[in-house]
Amino acid sequence: MDQALEKDLTDLEAIIDALPEYLTRSELYTNLPRPNQARLSLPVSIGVAQDRLQALRQRAGNTSEFQARLAGLEGKLQAISRLYPDEYQRKLASEQRSRTNTARWRAEDEEEERDRWEKK
């Protein structure tokens, strides 16, 4: 397995491992420090875990070892959603609202910027 793929699996595992604590806290998003990379961090949220799982599923040419690890991580995420069903659904709904609001604000900002340039 190549190093980039290994890193992506390791990052996803760290994110999923952090979800139980994330689900029981009031913060909407949190970050984990990346090992050996003091200036970078991993964002932790249900959406990030789901997005990374989806991206890894779509990678072509994956080995059976990769497929097994990915299936294990997917099972772990499903287990967390069953262990913390109320917290999981509340956090996921909050994340979805946040992403929707961010996209709307970004679109409004881009429209305002276009209007300013057109007036010049």
Question: Got the DSSP string for 36-92?
Answer: TEEEEEEEE-HHHHHHHHHHHHT-SS--HHHHHHHHHHHHHHHHHHHHSHHHHHHHH
Q: What is the pLDDT of residue 36?
A: 65
Output the pLDDT for position 21. Answer: 95
pTM to 2 decimals? 0.81
Predicted local confidence at residue 44, as pLDDT: 94
- Give domain limits for the chain: 3-119
**pLDDT (average), residues 76-80:** 97
